[in-house]
Amino acid sequence: MKVLKLIFKNALRHKLRTLLTIFGISIAVIAFGLLRTVVTIWDSAVDATMANRLITRQAVSFIFPLPYSYKEKIEAVPGVNKVLFQSWFQGVYKDKSNFFARMAVDQETMFDVYPEFLLTPKELADFKKERDACVIGADIAQQHKLKLGDKMVLEGDIFPGRWEFTVRGIYKGKNKNTDKTQMLFRWDYLNERMKVEVPVRANDVGWYVVQIADPDKSAQISNQIDAIFKNSTAETKTETEKAFTQGFVAASGAIITAMNVMSFVIIGIIMLVLANTMIMSARERTREYAVFKTLGFSAKHLVGLILGESMVISLLGGGVGLFLTFPIVAGFEQAMPKGFFPFFYIEPITVVFATVATVLVGLISAIFPIHKALNTKIVDGFRFVG
């Protein structure tokens, strides 16, 4: 108990220095938590994919469309359960800062192929019944204060014109990492206008989402689909949904890798801040350690005093940092457009990393002061002037 009392007294001897060190550690832990959250959430987009879904797109580039007529041919491939087609619409809702996915889809298969998008039977029936109906994610509804029956007006860019939709469904997510930031409307409504306004773009879809019975046969089925359209005017490339999503993530790979590296560089910064404090403390207490040795304090006691002080400061800083990370991440989530990060939360692994790092920093920062205290002779300690 006396040793613990000494540890806390030593830690608070220079209150300003200790408080600044705790503050520095807290800021570093918050930065670490925020960066790691961005990295893990970005990777979670890949984890949210389903093994039984394939994506068939234009072989040259994702931006080129595919004919609607491919649907029946894909459905005829053995092992295929359902085929969904989608088209990226883009457009502007209110202003360009409101970024979220806006897609024209096949209303008959959309919610069968994506069972993680939860919609009530009535909402689904209304969506299938009305040509200008749309379904939006719960996060988009909350952000823009939309409810069933409200109108959503989009100004088209890829598909020019004024497009008016009625909200007939608000889907929820089956899992925490389900994307609840999309707007979905009927492809046939889009196609009807294209037939009149831009006939050359009619009967085109963006890509196909293929639901298969056996995920283990994904490679075989992918090859069969691509073989059907080989040497056609619009050849295809079929891959798993995970591989397709990884392609998008890889496009930002350099940024994500840099953020990942920076998050761990911050751990080194924490260690330098605390190590500097501990080295200064050990230097100031050289004579005190000599007195302790004279009074019979063993090496074990000295190690306990120095390591304990380092751990107290490190854990206090880490604890304050973790405590503040949660509201700061929540605030960051509110400030970001909903469509930029479909979901944003601190994963348990981030808390584990931050906790382990805080403990390790406390341990490592005490090594040099302990070594100096144990190896300084009593006479040299008494002679020290600093």
Q: Are 167 and 152 in contact (CB under 8 A)?
A: yes
Q: Rounded CA gap, 277 and 371, in Å?
A: 15
SS3 184: strand
Task: Using a cut of 0.85, tell me whether the model's pTM lies above it.
Answer: no
Strand 133-137 and strand 161-173: the pairing is parallel
Helices (H), 138-208: 138-143, 187-197
What integer pLDDT is reported at residue 305 of this predicted model?
Answer: 80
What integer pLDDT is reported at residue 336 of this predicted model?
Answer: 65
Local confidence pLDDT in tens for the 386 residues of the chain: 566 777 777 777 778 888 888 888 888 888 888 888 877 776 666 555 677 899 999 998 888 999 999 999 999 999 999 999 999 998 888 887 778 889 999 999 999 999 989 999 999 999 999 999 999 999 899 888 999 999 999 998 889 889 999 999 999 988 777 888 899 999 999 999 999 988 888 899 999 999 999 988 999 999 999 999 998 889 999 998 887 876 665 555 566 677 777 877 877 777 777 777 777 777 777 777 777 778 777 778 778 888 888 888 888 888 998 999 888 888 877 766 655 566 667 878 888 888 888 888 888 888 888 888 777 787 776 676 65
What integer pLDDT is reported at residue 2 of this predicted model?
Answer: 65
